């Protein structure tokens, strides 16, 4: 397999960027998830150590995490002493290949009544069954500034987005449709995916499963010679909405199919 394919490089499909920026990747993960691990500096013994707690959150229009935290919880008491915190969010916990991001910044209680109402509405959209936010001990909190976003996208893929890069990035418009698109393609059209991987990534895969997608392409988990890897299959043109995903995939399939037909007509091309 070529190094470009393994690292998500150009392949035959395009010489344009084949992945979103680190800031965009981070904003996308934060938008699409609703739970994360909030790490605070312990104010109780053993003090001074970071301690993680699973919390529900929702992202605001700037990608800042909004949380309702109980005053009875130790992590809330930690923040009252030291507001330095981080929130780690992952696309899954199945393997080291799953993308994740850690946001670093100060988490403070929000007390302005108008802001509290906006946060309540946004949080309720992400967590419609969160009846507990009406309990008296749960108070709205927000990471006031995302000072840094540390991103890991899988093997040999990592980066850091600055506060400015994160703030000005936009979440990917189609990544949220990965589930239904991947299910359909993997169940009904895996043969075509294998064909595309062969043509664009130069990989003779025995199986090829789409595991993630964004406006610029797809991550495909391929198996061959007893090993499993992920390769990047870039689109020829960006997919800005759900319908465009189908158009971009069909475009790749047509090109790969035509190339296969030419090879069968002229066997010397494959030698």
3-state helix, strand, coil in the chain (%, to 5): 35, 30, 30
Q: 155 or 120, which is more confident? A: 120
R_g over Cα of the chain: 22
Lowest mean pLDDT among 26-30, 151-155, 203-207: 151-155
Predicted pLDDT at 14? 43
- Contact between 86 and 102 under an 8 Å Cβ cutoff? The reply is yes
Give 222-269 pLDDT, tens digit per residue.
999 999 999 999 999 999 999 999 999 999 999 999 999 987 777 665
Predicted pLDDT at 263? 79
Give 55-111 pLDDT, tens digit per residue.
999 999 999 999 999 999 999 999 999 999 999 999 987 778 889 999 999 999 999
- Contact between 200 and 193 under an 8 Å Cβ cutoff? The reply is no
Q: What is the pTM of this model?
A: 0.88
Predicted pLDDT at 13? 45
What phi, psi does 184 have (nearest 5°)?
Answer: -65, -50
Tokens of 156: 């040999």
Predicted pLDDT at 5? 45
Please tell me the number of Cα atoms within 13 Å of 133 on its side-chain side: 23
Residues 6+ positions from 129 with CB-CB distance below 8 Å: none
Mean pLDDT of 207-217: 97
């Amino acid at each position: 397999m070529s190094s470009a394919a393994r690292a998500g490089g150009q392949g035959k499909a395009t010489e344009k960027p084949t992945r979103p920026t680190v800031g965009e990747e981070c904003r996308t993960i934060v938008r699409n998830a609703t739970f994360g691990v909030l790490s605070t500096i312990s104010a109780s013994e053993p003090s001074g150590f970071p301690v993680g707690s699973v919390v529900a959150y929702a992202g605001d229009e700037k990608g800042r995490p909004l949380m309702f935290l109980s005053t009875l919880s130790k992590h809330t008491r930690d923040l009252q002493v030291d507001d330095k915190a981080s929130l780690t969010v992952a696309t899954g916990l199945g393997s080291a290949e799953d993308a994740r991001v850690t946001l670093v910044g100060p988490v403070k209680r929000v007390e302005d009544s108008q802001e509290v109402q906006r946060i309540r509405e946004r949080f309720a959209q992400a967590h419609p069954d969160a009846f507990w936010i009406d309990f008296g001990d749960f108070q709205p909190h927000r990471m006031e500034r995302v000072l840094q976003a540390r991103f890991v996208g899988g093997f040999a893929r990592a980066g850091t987005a600055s506060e400015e890069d994160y703030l000005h990035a936009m979440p990917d418009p189609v990544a949220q449709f990965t589930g239904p698109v991947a299910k359909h393609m993997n169940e009904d059209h895996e043969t075509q995916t294998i064909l595309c991987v062969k043509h664009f990534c130069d990989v003779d895969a025995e199986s090829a499963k789409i595991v993630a997608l964004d406006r610029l392409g797809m991550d495909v988990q391929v198996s061959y010679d007893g090993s499993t890897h992920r390769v990047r299959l870039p689109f020829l043109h960006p997919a800005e909405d759900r319908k465009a995903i189908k158009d971009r995939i069909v475009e790749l399939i047509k090109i790969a199919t035509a190339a296969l037909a030419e090879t069968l007509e002229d066997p010397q091309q494959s030698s």
